[in-house]
Structure 1
Amino acid sequence: MPTVRLSEIPADVLALIEDRTGPVLKTEHMSTGLNSEIAARVHTADTTLFVKGLRQDHRRVWTQQREADVNPHVRGIAPALMWRIQAGGWDLLGVEDIPGRHADYAPGSTDLPIVADVIGRVADIKAPDIIVRTMPDRMKAHTDAPELFAGDTLCHTDWVPTNVLITNRRAVVVDWAWASRGAAWIDPALWVVWLINSGHTPTQAEQWAARIPAWNSAPRAAIDAFARATVSVWEEITDGQTEPWTLDMLAAARAWSAHR
């Protein structure tokens, strides 16, 4: 379930931020993203930062730790973490502000090769020891063969277009809260579903995935099992939900699984 986003930065949080940054001149609240209570671009006299945060007793506060743990390992791919505040009942991350726009996954988009390139770069990163959540563990309720998804690669796992910023003809990947350890082909496979949701046929989507070396070396049976498991994941997500985008993703997952 998404976390409720605050429309204003509370005064106590603003004071914590200003202890690090100096006086805040302006804030811009972000409407995208599902994990944070606070997500805002913060402007000071000297710099602009992106600040995301949760109360320390929030059930998803672990996502703040995951972001902080992963960040040193994805420099050049993700915005740099500048500071972290754990005080006053809040857990806040101050992140490098990246000017850019969200990626366009539609057929014919010039962003597609840029996104394929960055997914390939992520697929080359060995998961650091601090990543203890594994894809077999995450998917065990959705398949009878979770061992097929095992590996030592750092997997981002959340390729919604709003998590990919296009800037200066390169892609920067944000929101590493769901980073996991798994097979190198998993991120390309998850991208396939988002491409289908964006208007590609399953064949076209897999052709884009084929630009990523890890996809081409993946066992066919493993991808087939993952496609079936992905349908189960989205069936669970949409159970009792009426949000159109989740239903669209379920339809895309079903189209991919049928294609496989």
Structure 2
Amino acid sequence: MSQETNPPASGARVPWQRVHPPVRAAVEEFLGGRVVEAETQPGGFSPAAAVRLRTDNGGRAFVKAVGPEPNADAVRLYQAELKIAAALPESVPAPRLLTGFELEGWVTLVFEDVEGEHPELPWRRDQLDRVLTAVKGMSAALTPAPIDASPIGKVFGSSFNGWRMLLDEETDGLDPWALRHLGELAELESGWAEAAAGDTLVHADLRADNILLNGERVYVVDWPWACLGAPWVDQVMMLPSIGMQGGPPPHELCTDPGAEVTSVVAAVTGYFVRHGRLPDPPGLPTVRAFQRAQGVVALDWLKRRTGWA
């Protein structure tokens, strides 16, 4: 399998030594000791530090920190995550936020250091079944949402207008089926926000690199996109990455024939297909390849769901 077909979910992480010195000092002050070990965690795309720290007094923490360069959008994303993480109740299967702060343009989140490993890739069926069961249970436990959050339609907004945007953009290299049905896909996608609406707190960005397995426990990390949606949204949005990373294809894991699901699948597919055609964002050299690979899987799923020739 080629690198483009199955690209890694990792980007250009910032080592702890390159984090803004006042930020490092503030973290050490909070932890009450000098950092003697900093292990960068590679999963994820943001051009930020993501490190497991150990201090000289035995303290441990997982720290995420991002500055305004090279991508200011990452700062806004971390600000959103700080707000969500601070509000998540202990019932949510996520690492506990110990503290968070903004300092001289940097946003920093300090979490408890949870022991665990990402699911093995290609996906093992036993681990996949554990994760899907945990996601279903999490969705049930977060209905109704225990915290205030924005509706999914507001959070993702025009990002899920991919097919509609492609109506007015260059389409060289677009899949022939998608090009043939572009107008229909734009129409199908247009109702996604209403289809995905609900009162469940959804993570909205589930992938293997946002999941940790610890014994029988499943932890879900990285919540900046958390929003209100239908209880099935997390599973549906996760399935293209599962299929791309060696798991079963989406149509085998989601047999719901509902028009609402198809509308959301259309929007997710349009997002991956269109964004995969865009230039790399500043500081995120790997995300487009990951989106393109998910788009291939999602498009096959969409073809099956629509039944269009």
Q: TM-score range by the shorter chain?
A: 0.7 to 0.9
Q: Which residue of 2 aligns with 1:180?
A: 227
The aligned amino acid for 1:80 is R
The one-letter code sitting in structure 2 at the alignment partner of 1:81 is: L
Structure 2 CA distance for aligned equivalents of residues 107 and 23 of structure 1: 38
Tell me, yes or no, if the aligned pair for 1:103 and 1:164 is still in contact at 8 Å.
Answer: yes
Answer with 1 or 2: which has the greater Rg: 2
Q: Is the 8 A contact 1:36 1:53 kept in 2?
A: no
For 1:171-210, list aligned pairs within 5 A: 171-199=218-246, 200-206=248-254
TM-score after normalising by structure 2: 0.72
Shift, 1:110, TM fit: 1.6
> Which structure: greater strand fraction?
1
Q: Deviation digits for residues 192-251 of structure 1, max 9, x if unmatched?
A: 2222213313332226xxxxxxxx6xx700011111111101012201358543221111
Partner-residue secondary structure (3-state), 2:205? coil
Higher RCO by CA contacts (8 Å cutoff, separation 6 or greater) = 2
**For structure 1, which segment, 14-23 or 101-110, has the greater mean C-alpha deviation from structure 2 after superposition?**
101-110
Q: Distance in 2 between matches of 1:74 and 1:248?
A: 34
| Structure 2 Cα separation of the partners of residues 39 and 244 of structure 1 | 21
Q: 2 CA distance for matches of 1:106 and 1:56? A: 35
Cα contact 2:199–2:229 (8 A) shared by 1: yes
Q: How does 1:173-252 map to 2 (within 5 A)?
A: 173-199=220-246, 200-206=248-254, 220-241=258-279, 243-252=288-297
Query: Take 1:220 and 1:128, find their aligned partners in 2: how far apart are those partners?
Result: 27
Matched positions, count: 249
Choose which of 16, 23, 32 in structure 1 pairs with 2:43: 32
| Alignment pair present for 1:159 and 2:171 | no
Aligned equivalents of 1:182, 1:74: Cα separation in 2: 18
Q: Which residue among 106, 116, 122 is the counterpart of 1:100?
A: 116
2:207–2:242 contact (8 Å) kept in structure 1: no
Pairing 1:125-144 to 2, within 5 Å after superposition? 125=142, 126-128=144-146, 130-135=148-153, 138=156, 141-142=161-162, 143-144=189-190
- Say whether the 8 Å CA contact 2:101–2:107 is kept in structure 1: yes
- Tell me the equivalent position of 2:21: 11
Following the alignment from structure 1 to structure 2, what is the Cα–Cα distance between the partners of residues 165 and 224?
29
8 Å contact from structure 1 (residues 136, 182) kept in 2: no
Amino acid at match of 2:149: I
Q: 1:181: Cα distance to partner?
A: 1.3
Name stretches of at least 5 consecutive residues in structure 2 with no aligned partner: 1-9, 163-188, 280-285
Q: Report how far residue 80 of structure 1 moved.
A: 0.3
| Alpha-carbon separation, structure 2, partners of 1:221 and 1:110 | 30
Corresponding residue of 1:48: 60
* Identical aligned residues as a percent: 24
- Which residue type is aligned with residue 153 of structure 1? T
Q: CA distance change for structure 1 residues 34 and 201 in 2, over 3 Å: closer, same or farther?
A: closer
Find the aligned partners of 1:86 and 1:136 in 2 and give their Cα distance: 25
Question: How far apart, CA to CA, are the structure 2 residues paired with 1:129 and 1:107?
Answer: 32
Please give the alpha-carbon distance, in whole angstroms, between the structure 1 residues aligned to 2:268 and 2:118.
24
Give the partner amino acid of 1:237.
Answer: H
Report Cα offsets for 1:126-153 as digits up to 9, x if no partner. Answer: 3355312523662552421131111111
**Superposed CA offset, 1:93-128 (max 9, x none):** 100111111123646532112201221133121335
Where structure 1 has 5 or more consecutive residues not aligned to the other structure, the ranges are 208-215
- Aligned equivalents of 2:110 and 2:156: distance in 1? 28
